[in-house]
C-alpha cells in the first residue's frame, strides 16, 4: 500500500460560530476512484475548498505524499497537483478549446504556435477518451464538453488529485456515462479521483471506495465491495431519533388552492404535478440538481414553463412576471438572500415594504414613512427580529435576522401561498425553530406553504406531505405518516426499492 497522494488529518473548519467540518480525516490514493457521499450541507464543498486552497483549515493537517503541507491558495494547490471541476465549468467563452486548456501554462514559451497547441490538446483529449475538436470556440460547447475542457486543463498541469464535484448533475444520461468513463480512465492512469455524487448507481459503477460524511464529520470509509445502498443511506441520514424538530399537528384542509399538472420546462424539469391545500405545508425535498428552485421560479413567473397547467384557486393562471404572481397573492422567499432576497445596504424597513410599496403610497405617490415604520416594528416584534432599530441596514444583521426580514417582506403581502426556498439555510438552531413556528402559524391561519428544503429533519418536521424530486423529475409524494429520512433519501437518490 503506497503513500496516499493527499491526506486530510483531523481537519476542522469553523466559520464564526458555525462548524462546517469536525475532525475530518480522509486518504486519497493514486489510481483510485474515491467516492464521497453526504447530503446537502454535510461539508463536502468546504472540504473541497480546503483541498484546493480556497479556505484554510481552522485546525488539522494536510499531507501531500506523506509530507505535511500548507496549501495557502489556489496556486499552491495547483502546484501540488490538486484540481477540481464543478457543475459550473470555468471556461473562457471567447477562446477555443486548445487555448482554454493551455491558457495558464507556464511551460510553453512566448509564441502561441496554434498548430502544436492543438496537437497537444488533441493528445490530452484522447487521453480522456472523448472526441472534441480543439479549434472549436468554447461558447459553442455543451456543458459536458466544457467540463471535458476543464479536465484536460487539469491534465495539462499534471494533475495528481482530480476532484469532481457533482459533475454529472446537469448532464444527460449519455454524457454522464462518458464522464464516468473519463473518471475511470484517469484513475487507470494513476490520478487520484475524488468523485462526489449523490447518484448512488454511479458510485457502484466506478468507485473503488466510499466515504460517507454527515454534519461535517467523517462517518465511514469502506471499499466498494462492503458497501450497500441501504447502508450508505442509513449512514448519510443516521441521526439520533428524537429529532430536535417536533412535528406539529397538521392544519391541512381539503380545499385545493393550487393545482399543478404536468408542469414542464424544457431541458430543466418535467411532469411536475401536485395539489396544494389551504392550511397545508408541502415540502419539496431533493438533492443538488433536483431543480426544485426552477419549479418554484416557474410557478412564480420568473421563467414561465414550456407546458403544463397551473390552477390557482380554480382559475388557470399564466404568470409571465413576478408581478403577476404577487398580485395573485403568491410570494417567493428566495434561497439566496444576498443576491435575490434583500437589498443589503438598505434599511430594514425599506426592505420590509419592498414587495408592497404601492400600499405605502399616498395618492400623490409619496411614501408614508410613519406607516412604513409602524409595519416594520410590527414585524420586528412578531418575528422577533433582534435589531437596535428599523433603520439599521439589513446587511448588518445576523443571518437569522436577515431571513426574518425577508419573511416580513413577503408576509406583508398577506399572501395566500408562500413558497419558501431553503428558509433556514445558514441560520442558527434557535432561529430555525422560530422560522418553523412562523410557517406553521401562517398555514394555521389559512395560508398554504410550499417549502423547498435540503434539511431532512426539517422536511420531516414541517411537511404534511413531502414531494421528492430528482434531476428535474418528480419521484413521488410521501405523506408524513409514511415518511422517514431514509424513505425520502431513497427517492432523492433514485433508489426506488420501496414503491410509493
Partner 1 sequence: MLSRVPPQTLRILALLLVLFAVLLFFSTQVPNYLNGRLFNRISSSVAIMALIACGQTLVILTRNIDLSIGSTVGFVAFATGSLITNNPDIPPLVLATYSVLLGACFGVVNGLLVAYARIPSIIVTLGTMALFRSALVEYSDAKSITTNNLPTWLVEFPNTQLFTIGTFQFRAAFVVAVLVVFAVHIALTRLRPARKIYAVGSNPEAAEMAGINTKLVVFFTFVLAGALAGLAGFMFLARFGTITVVAGLGFELKSVASAVVGGVNIFGGSGSVIGALIGAILVDLIDMSLVRWQLVSEFWREAVLGSLILLSVAADAILMRRLVKWRVAREKKQTKSGVSS
Partner 2 sequence: MKAALNRLQSWEGFLLCALILIILMNANLSPQFLSFSNQINLFQLSIEKIIVALVMTFIIINAEIDLSVGSMMGLSACAFGWMVQGGAPGGLAIVICLAIGIAGGALNGWFIAKVGLPSLVVTLATLIGFRGLARVLVEDRGINDFPEWFDALGQQGFIGSIPFALFAFVILFVALYIVLQRSGFGRKTYVIGTNRAVADYAGINTGRHKMILFMASGLVSAFAGLLYAARVGAVRGDVALGFELDIITIVLLGGVSIFGGRGTLVGTLLAVLIVLNLRNGMALVNITGHIQTGVIGLLLIGSVIAPRIDLTRLWRRPSGDTS
Cβ proximity to partner 2: between 242 and 388 the closer is 388
93 interface partner picked from partner 1, partner 2, none, CB below 5 to 8 A per type = partner 1
**116-122 long-range CB contacts below 8 Å, 24 or more apart?**
120/156, 121/97, 121/152
Does 90 bind partner 1 (CB under 8 A)? Our answer is yes
| Sole binder of partner 1 in the list 29, 61, 95, 256 (CB under 8 A) | 95
Region from 21-29, 98-106, 164-172, 321-329 binding partner 2, contact rule CB under 8 A: 321-329
Cβ proximity to partner 1: between 107 and 481 the closer is 107
225 interface partner picked from partner 2, partner 1, none, CB below 5 to 8 A per type = none
Does 54 bind partner 2 (CB under 8 A)? Our answer is no
Environment class of 14 (CB within 10 Å of its CB; exposed 0-12, middle 13-18, buried 19+): middle
CB atoms inside a 10 Å sphere around CB 371:
15
The Cα–Cα gap between 295 and 161 comes to 36
Does 15 bind partner 2 (CB under 8 A)? Our answer is no
244 interface partner picked from partner 1, partner 2, none, CB below 5 to 8 A per type = none
| Cβ-based neighbours of 214, under 8 Å, separated by 6 or more | 38, 39, 42, 235, 236, 237, 238, 239
Cβ proximity to partner 1: between 109 and 314 the closer is 109
Specify which residues 195 forms β-bridges with: 35, 164
367 interface partner picked from partner 1, partner 2, none, CB below 5 to 8 A per type = partner 2
Min dist CB 110 to partner 1, Å, is 6
Under 8 Å between Cβ of 169 and 268: no
By rule CB under 8 A, what string of x and - marks binding of each residue 54-73 to partner 1? --------------------
Q: In this structure, what are the phi and psi dihedrals at residue 270, rounded to the nearest 5 degrees?
A: -145, 145
349 interface partner picked from partner 1, partner 2, none, CB below 5 to 8 A per type = none
CB atoms inside a 10 Å sphere around CB 125:
23
CB atoms inside a 10 Å sphere around CB 341:
23
b/e map 223-261, b = 16+ CB within 10 Å: eeeebebeebbebbbeeeeeeebeebebbbeeeebbbbe
262 interface partner picked from partner 1, partner 2, none, CB below 5 to 8 A per type = none
By rule CB under 8 A, what string of x and - marks binding of each residue 361-400 to partner 2? x--xxxx-x----------------------xxxxx----
Does 18 bind partner 1 (CB under 8 A)? Our answer is no
The position carrying cell 428552485 is: 293
Does 354 bind partner 2 (CB under 8 A)? Our answer is yes
DSSP state of 347: B
Nearest to 157 by CA among 89, 108, 109: 108
Cβ proximity to partner 2: between 219 and 328 the closer is 328
Judged by the rule CB under 8 A, the positions of this chain that interact with partner 2 are 302, 321-323, 325-327, 332, 334, 339-347, 350, 353-355, 357-358, 360-361, 364-367, 369, 392-396, 409
Judged by the rule CB under 8 A, the positions of this chain that interact with partner 1 are 74-75, 78, 90-96, 99, 103-104, 108-112, 130-131, 133, 135-137, 139-140, 142-145, 153, 172-175, 178, 266-267
Amino acid at each position: 500500500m503506497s503513500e496516499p497522494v493527499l491526506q486530510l488529518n483531523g481537519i476542522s473548519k469553523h466559520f464564526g460560530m458555525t462548524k462546517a467540518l469536525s475532525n475530518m480525516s480522509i486518504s486519497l490514493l493514486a489510481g483510485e476512484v474515491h467516492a464521497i457521499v453526504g447530503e446537502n450541507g454535510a461539508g463536502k464543498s468546504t472540504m473541497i475548498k480546503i483541498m484546493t486552497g480556497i479556505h484554510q483549515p481552522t485546525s488539522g493537517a494536510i499531507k501531500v505524499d506523506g509530507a505535511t503541507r500548507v496549501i495557502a491558495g489556489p496556486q499552491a494547490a495547483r502546484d501540488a497537483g490538486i484540481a477540481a471541476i464543478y457543475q459550473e465549468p470555468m471556461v473562457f467563452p471567447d477562446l477555443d478549446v486548445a487555448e482554454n486548456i493551455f491558457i495558464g501554462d507556464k511551460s510553453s514559451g512566448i509564441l502561441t504556435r496554434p498548430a502544436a497547441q492543438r496537437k497537444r490538446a488533441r493528445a490530452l483529449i484522447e487521453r480522456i477518451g472523448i472526441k472534441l475538436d480543439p479549434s472549436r470556440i468554447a461558447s459553442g460547447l455543451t456543458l459536458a464538453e466544457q467540463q471535458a475542457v476543464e479536465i484536460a486543463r487539469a491534465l495539462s498541469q499534471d494533475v495528481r488529485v482530480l476532484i469532481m464535484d457533482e459533475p454529472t448533475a446537469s448532464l444527460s444520461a449519455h454524457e454522464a456515462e462518458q464522464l464516468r468513463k473519463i473518471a475511470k480512465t484517469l484513475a487507470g492512469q494513476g490520478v487520484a479521483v475524488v468523485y462526489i455524487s449523490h447518484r448512488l448507481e454511479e458510485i457502484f459503477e466506478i468507485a473503488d471506495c466510499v466515504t460517507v460524511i454527515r454534519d461535517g464529520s467523517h462517518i465511514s470509509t469502506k471499499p466498494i465491495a462492503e458497501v450497500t445502498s441501504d447502508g450508505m443511506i442509513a449512514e448519510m441520514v443516521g441521526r439520533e431519533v428524537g429529532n430536535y424538530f417536533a412535528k406539529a399537528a397538521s392544519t391541512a384542509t381539503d380545499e385545493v388552492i393550487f393545482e399543478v399538472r404536468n408542469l414542464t420546462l424544457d431541458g430543466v424539469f418535467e411532469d411536475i404535478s401536485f395539489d396544494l391545500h389551504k392550511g397545508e405545508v408541502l415540502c419539496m425535498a431533493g438533492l443538488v440538481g433536483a431543480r426544485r428552485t426552477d419549479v418554484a421560479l416557474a410557478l412564480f413567473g420568473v421563467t414561465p414553463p414550456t407546458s403544463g397547467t397551473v390552477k390557482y384557486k380554480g382559475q388557470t393562471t399564466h404568470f409571465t412576471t413576478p408581478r403577476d404572481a404577487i398580485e395573485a397573492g403568491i410570494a417567493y422567499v428566495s434561497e439566496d438572500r444576498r443576491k435575490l432576497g434583500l437589498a443589503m445596504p438598505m434599511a430594514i424597513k425599506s426592505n420590509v415594504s419592498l414587495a408592497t410599496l404601492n400600499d405605502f403610497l399616498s395618492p400623490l405617490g409619496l411614501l408614508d414613512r410613519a406607516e412604513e415604520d409602524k409595519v416594520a416594528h410590527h414585524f420586528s416584534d412578531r418575528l422577533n427580529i433582534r435589531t437596535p432599530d428599523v433603520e439599521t441596514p439589513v446587511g448588518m444583521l445576523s443571518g437569522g435576522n436577515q431571513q426574518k426580514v425577508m419573511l416580513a417582506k413577503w408576509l406583508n403581502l398577506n399572501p395566500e401561498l408562500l413558497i419558501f426556498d431553503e428558509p433556514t439555510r445558514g441560520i442558527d438552531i434557535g432561529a430555525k425553530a422560530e422560522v418553523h413556528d412562523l410557517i406553521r402559524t401562517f398555514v394555521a391561519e389559512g395560508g398554504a406553504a410550499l417549502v423547498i428544503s435540503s434539511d431532512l429533519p426539517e422536511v420531516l418536521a414541517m411537511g404534511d406531505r413531502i414531494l421528492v424530486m430528482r434531476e428535474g423529475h418528480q419521484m413521488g409524494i410521501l405523506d408524513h405518516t409514511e415518511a422517514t429520512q431514509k424513505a425520502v433519501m431513497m427517492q432523492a437518490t433514485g433508489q426506488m426499492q420501496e414503491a410509493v
